[in-house]
């Protein structure tokens, strides 16, 4: 077993042999193949404070039931997904990213554009993969540092969930896409902060509320918009797990935050704000722009200036903001900061702390369980239509 230890995150695209994807220049310097190294590992240090719990009584039936659901709804990426279904025609939507009038994009021939959208897909799904590895590491820490018996059991079940998520996104990237991108630097900075903070509740806030809340919205959109039936099944099963994880975080933190001093609460509110602010930046695929030789800052600004993209990345916070409000972390000091980001309007939406057990127990593809996905996508479609009308009027 060959391992390369590194103090810096590799910034290379990784190729996987055997996948059916368009071949571009194999001599590019940013390609890392399996011949280079078998395993690349980066070390992080954390002053983790663990705790035993000697009271084995059930303190919270909600957390116990979430744990039980996790056992009942286990799934296997090898058995529960049909990986042999054909790859559908990939959809290209330059208007969504404000690229329809961007000269570097217009200069591409059709083959290069197809390759560009493959890279965009690879980049997005790679961030899912890296985020799930971060969640796996954080959940494993929570087994040690969560203070109560129920939370330790649930964290253990979540660790297994996250292991499945890493497995399934890795398999999808290797078999369906054929490449993966390095972790976005903004996502990496959030995960590093969560992993290296010694306080268990900071880990809950960063992972269960912010990162996984954003992931739920992103998965819902992916499931409804991807043409690939395999990816639809992947995000369906992952979302079913993630919904429990976010609900667990909201229910567990709601009472705990009330016990904090004003100073401690403000510190956590500021951390949640910073995690949200950084997360908005991780939605831009700067590594793809760099790979195709674009001016990265110019392309980034072009994408962010687009009406659809700027609105869509705010829509992703529809779960995070009401959950932060419910647990008491939208304090008067941070509210103006969230308002500047343009995401405070969501604070009074329904939260993930109100558990509809019948909905969580049945498959996600019922009409009731998809209501959130459909409302979010309807809002996104309205935004997209407004942008198209604006473009048509200008023409």
What pLDDT, on a 0 to 100 scale, did the predictor assign at position 27?
42
d(CA 272, CA 202) in angstroms, rounded, equals 9
Structural contact between residues 161 and 104, judged by C-beta atoms closer than 8 angstroms: no
Selection from 286, 81, 34, 74 nearest residue 176 by Cα: 81
What's the rounded mean pLDDT across residues 78-98? Answer: 85
Residue 190 CB neighbour total at 10 angstroms? 23
Per-residue pLDDT tens digits for 39-72? 777 888 888 888 888 888 777 778 888 889 888 8
What's the rounded mean pLDDT across residues 94-100? Answer: 87
Q: Which of 21-35, 69-83, 124-138, 228-242 has the lowest mean pLDDT?
A: 21-35
What pLDDT, on a 0 to 100 scale, did the predictor assign at position 36?
54
pTM for the full model?
0.85
What pLDDT, on a 0 to 100 scale, did the predictor assign at position 137?
96
d(CA 20, CA 28) in angstroms, rounded, equals 19
- 261 confidence band (pLDDT: 50, 70, 90): very high
d(CA 215, CA 228) in angstroms, rounded, equals 19
Percentage of the chain lying above the pLDDT 70 cut: 84
Which tokens hold the place of 161? 């969930």
Which tokens hold the place of 231? 């990816």
What pLDDT, on a 0 to 100 scale, did the predictor assign at position 231?
95
What pLDDT, on a 0 to 100 scale, did the predictor assign at position 31?
52
- 88 confidence band (pLDDT: 50, 70, 90): confident
Q: Which of 130-139, 220-229, 328-337 has the lowest mean pLDDT?
A: 220-229
| 12 against 276, higher pLDDT | 276
What pLDDT, on a 0 to 100 scale, did the predictor assign at position 106?
95
pLDDT surpasses 90 at 138:
yes
| 91 against 56, higher pLDDT | 56
- 380 confidence band (pLDDT: 50, 70, 90): low
- The dihedral built from the CA positions of residue 261, 263, 266 and 267, taken in this order, carries a sign that is negative
pLDDT surpasses 60 at 239:
yes
Question: In a 3-state reduction of DSSP, which class is residue 43?
Answer: coil
What's the rounded mean pLDDT across residues 29-47? Answer: 65
Selection from 136, 115, 96 nearest residue 284 by Cα: 96
What pLDDT, on a 0 to 100 scale, did the predictor assign at position 30?
52
d(CA 19, CA 178) in angstroms, rounded, equals 5
- 281 confidence band (pLDDT: 50, 70, 90): confident
DSSP sequence for 255-295: HHHTTS-HHHHHHHHHHHHHHHHHHHHTTS-HHHHHHTT--
d(CA 252, CA 62) in angstroms, rounded, equals 9
What's the rounded mean pLDDT across residues 370-390? Answer: 57
Question: Domains in the chain, please, with CATH?
Answer: 3-394 (1.10.620.20)
Q: Which residues pair with 180 in a beta bridge?
A: 14
Percentage of the chain lying above the pLDDT 90 cut: 51
CA distances from 275 to 46, 187, 350 (A): 19, 9, 21
Q: b/e map of 110-130 (b: 16 or more CB within 10 Å)?
A: eeeeebbebbbbbbebbbbbb
**What is the overall mean pLDDT for the chain?**
84
What pLDDT, on a 0 to 100 scale, did the predictor assign at position 110?
92
Contacts 24+ apart (CB under 8 A), 343-349: 343/276, 343/314, 343/317, 346/317, 346/318, 346/320, 346/321, 346/322, 347/321, 347/322, 348/322, 349/318, 349/321, 349/322
Alpha-carbon Rg for the chain, nearest whole angstrom, is 21
What pLDDT, on a 0 to 100 scale, did the predictor assign at position 162?
97
Per-residue pLDDT tens digits for 178-210? 999 999 999 999 999 999 999 999 999 999 999
Looking at residue 306, the DSSP 8-state letter turns out to be: S
């Amino acid at each position: 077993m060959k391992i390369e230890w590194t103090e810096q995150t590799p910034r290379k695209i990784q190729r996987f042999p055997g996948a059916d994807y368009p071949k571009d220049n194999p001599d590019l310097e940013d390609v890392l193949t399996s011949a280079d190294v078998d395993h690349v590992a980066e070390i992080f240090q954390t002053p983790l404070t663990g705790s035993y719990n000697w009271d084995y009584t059930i303190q919270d039936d909600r957390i116990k039931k979430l744990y039980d659901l996790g056992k009942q709804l286990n799934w296997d990426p090898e058995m529960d997904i049909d990986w042999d279904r054909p790859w559908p025609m990939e959809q290209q939507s330059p208007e969504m990213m404000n690229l329809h009038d961007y000269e570097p994009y217009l200069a591409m021939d059709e083959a290069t554009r197809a390759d560009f959208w493959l890279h965009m897909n690879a980049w997005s799904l790679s961030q899912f993969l890296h985020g799930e590895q971060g969640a796996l590491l954080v959940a494993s820490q929570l087994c040690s540092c969560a203070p109560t018996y129920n939370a330790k059991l649930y964290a253990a079940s979540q660790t297994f969930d996250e292991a499945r998520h890493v497995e399934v996104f890795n398999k999808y990237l290797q078999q369906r896409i054929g490449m993966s991108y390095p972790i976005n630097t903004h996502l990496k900075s959030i995960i590093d902060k969560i992993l290296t903070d010694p306080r268990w509740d900071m880990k809950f806030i960063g992972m269960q509320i912010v990162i996984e809340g954003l992931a739920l919205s992103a998965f819902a959109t992916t499931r409804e918009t991807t043409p690939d039936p395999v990816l639809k099944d992947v995000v369906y099963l992952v979302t079913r797990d993630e919904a429990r994880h976010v609900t667990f975080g909201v229910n567990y933190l709601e009472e705990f935050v009330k016990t904090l001093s004003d100073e401690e609460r403000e510190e956590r509110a500021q951390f949640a704000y910073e995690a949200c602010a950084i997360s908005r930046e991780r939605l831009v695929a700067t590594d793809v722009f760099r790979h195709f030789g674009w001016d990265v800052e110019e392309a980034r600004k072009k994408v962010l200036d687009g009406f659809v993209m700027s609105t869509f990345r705010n829509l992703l916070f529809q779960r995070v903001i009401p959950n932060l409000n419910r647990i008491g972390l939208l304090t008067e000091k941070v509210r103006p900061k969230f308002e500047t980001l343009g995401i405070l309007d969501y604070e009074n939406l329904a939260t993930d702390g109100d558990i509809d057990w019948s909905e969580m127990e049945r498959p996600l593809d019922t009409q009731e369980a998809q209501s959130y996905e459909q409302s979010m996508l309807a809002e996104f479609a309205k935004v997209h239509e407004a942008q198209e009308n604006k473009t048509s009027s200008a023409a």
